[in-house]
A and B are shown apart, each in its own frame.
Chain A
Amino acid sequence: MRTPLYEEHKRLGAKMTVFAGWEMPLYYSGIAEETLAVRSAAGLFDLSHMGEITLSGPSALDSIQYLTTNNAARLGVGQAQYTLLCNGNGGVLDDLIVYRIEEDSYLMVVNASNAESDFAWVGGHAFDDTEVRNASREKAIIALQGPGSARILSELAWFDLESVRRFHVLPGEVAGVQCLVARTGYTGEDGFELMCGWDDAARLWSSLLDAGQAYGIAAAGLGARDVLRLEAAYSLYGHELTEDTSPVDARLMWVVDIEKGDFLGRDPIRAARDAGPKRLLTGLEAMERCVPRHGYAVRADGAEIGRITSGTFSPTLRKAIALAYVEPDIAVPDVEVDIIVRDKACRARVVRTPFYKSGNLPHPPPS
């Protein structure tokens, strides 16, 4: 499957890859360069492969409250929240953002890999008078992320950007294209996710790329997207989150409101919370020259005590970082472990997350 920006990616010389059935840019100039561009200036991402599900009608809020773990009743019009879709066993089906677009109209933006199954699940569990629609092929998403985002967007947006605060969303016109402008993102930087009509995406992309040239904007692919989110210690579905992982172990109880009322997975999650984590999602930093990767074993005191869920070399920090589920008594900063990399032990230490916080570039970016 191709997004409306496929030709743009080819024109920019992207190295393409297939992700969740979509032909997507892995990188254009290089993962390291694009990561650093986002951290120091701005990056432009095609997120049109993601799924969009709209819920509307008087019982839309009730449906969302039942389907997701966070308390959506707290959302005023124009607000958004990160939340989870869980199954009846309290396992995670997806992580997503819910946006309250209008009084009784909500938008869920879900992972590309789960778009179809989420739509079926939401449709199957929503209340009868909630209208559930799959808008995935109607809505394209372009993300503009980095400290220069607001300045770039203000060149093209004829509305007050100050009114779009973090985790807020507003309809607006950007470069003549009608969009939903959301101040959300997956990079740990300031940024915007612009949702427009599928056929408007190419026009919007070109305008943003042109306007951003003076600010050092770079087109950025899925490779950089994965490095950036890992540096910010955000979970990726399929790695940190699966149907077999509990929000307790994933350290996501902050988006679970047990007391809000009944929701799918409530009882098992409450029980898991009361029992305590079995393994805890933890940040690790390699102390030797190795790159920990998904699936590698983590050992301490002669035993396997965990598994890497995601790992990479961080070009921002110039060190290898990873997330892993490890036994709770190991999940303490400065505890040292061994990560098994191709049959050899690589020493690593537990560190606090996020690995990187915006505005703290350790080295000046290359000019």
Chain B
Amino acid sequence: MHPEDLKYTSTHEWVRVEENLATVGITDHAQSELGDVVYVELPQQGATLQKDDLLGTIESIKTVSDLVAPVSGEVVEVNDDLADTPERVNDSPYGTGWMVIIKLEDPSELEDLLTSEQYEAFIEEQ
């Protein structure tokens, strides 16, 4: 179940683009593989990242997973609710489980992202 209006990465992040802002989270496939999320480590508001930088980490009961920046830019908002209620990532990976909002530095990077069809094909191959 991967919404068609979003873009995806091969590291299982999704991106919702609104003007020059990119909201980022992890996909339903990713949260399902991870299991119960217990901690989400995210950057501070104001941090600047390059595409493919380590954006944060997601700890579940059984494993830890890296969050990778899908685009370059400044982190303008961080979902602080995930500190108290990390289970949102499992329950609503595309909704209340969103993680950060990045102000796009280079919109052409969006072209490197996958469509929902391409992402689904990708995870099928795994």
Residue numbers of A with Cβ under 8 A of B are 15, 26-27, 30-33, 223, 226-227, 289-291, 293, 312-313, 315, 320, 342
B57 at the interface (CB under 8 A from A): yes
With an 8 Å Cβ cutoff, the count of chain B residues facing the other chain is 13
Give me the 7 closest cross-chain CB pairs, A-B, nearest first: A313-B38, A32-B36, A31-B61, A291-B59, A289-B39, A30-B36, A313-B61
In contact, B39 and A223 (Cβ under 8 angstroms): no
Interchain residue pairs with CB less than 8 A apart (28): A15-B32, A26-B35, A26-B62, A27-B35, A31-B35, A31-B36, A31-B61, A31-B62, A32-B36, A32-B61, A223-B62, A226-B62, A227-B61, A289-B39, A289-B41, A291-B38, A291-B39, A291-B59, A291-B64, A293-B64, A312-B61, A313-B38, A313-B39, A313-B59, A313-B61, A315-B36, A342-B57, A342-B64
How many whole Å from B35's CB to the nearest CB in chain A? 6
Given A223-B62, A227-B61, A342-B57, CB of A30 within 8 Å of CB of B38: no
In contact, A223 and B61 (Cβ under 8 angstroms): yes
Residue numbers of B with Cβ under 8 A of A are 32, 35-36, 38-39, 41, 57, 59, 61-62, 64, 83, 90
Q: Chain A contacts of B39 at CB under 8 A?
A: 289-291, 313
> With the chains together, A226 CA to B83 CA distance in Å?
25
How many whole Å from B110's CB to the nearest CB in chain A? 30
Whose C-beta in chain A lies nearest to the C-beta of B66?
A342
How many whole Å from B29's CB to the nearest CB in chain A? 12
In contact, B64 and A315 (Cβ under 8 angstroms): no
Whose C-beta in chain B lies nearest to the C-beta of A224?
B61
Q: Chain A contacts of B62 at CB under 8 A?
A: 26, 31, 223, 226, 312
How many whole Å from A39's CB to the nearest CB in chain B? 15
Q: Chain B contacts of A226 at CB under 8 A?
A: 62
How many whole Å from A18's CB to the nearest CB in chain B? 14
> With the chains together, A225 CA to B70 CA distance in Å?
36
Which of B35, B36, B39, B59 has the most chain A CB atoms inside 10 A of its CB?
B36
Which of B32, B61, B83, B90 has the most chain A CB atoms inside 10 A of its CB?
B61
Given A291-B59, A313-B59, A342-B57, CB of A30 within 8 Å of CB of B35: yes
How many whole Å from A112's CB to the nearest CB in chain B? 18
Q: Chain B contacts of A293 at CB under 8 A?
A: 64
Q: Chain B contacts of A26 at CB under 8 A?
A: 35, 62
In contact, A223 and B35 (Cβ under 8 angstroms): yes
Whose C-beta in chain B lies nearest to the C-beta of A293?
B64
Q: Chain B contacts of A30 at CB under 8 A?
A: 35-36, 90
> With the chains together, A226 CA to B63 CA distance in Å?
13
> With the chains together, A293 CA to B83 CA distance in Å?
20
Q: Chain A contacts of B36 at CB under 8 A?
A: 30-33, 315
Q: Chain B contacts of A315 at CB under 8 A?
A: 36, 61
> With the chains together, A96 CA to B57 CA distance in Å?
37
10 other A-B residue contacts (CB within 8 Å) besides A26-B62, A31-B36, A312-B61: A27-B35, A30-B35, A31-B35, A33-B36, A226-B62, A289-B83, A290-B59, A291-B59, A313-B38, A315-B36
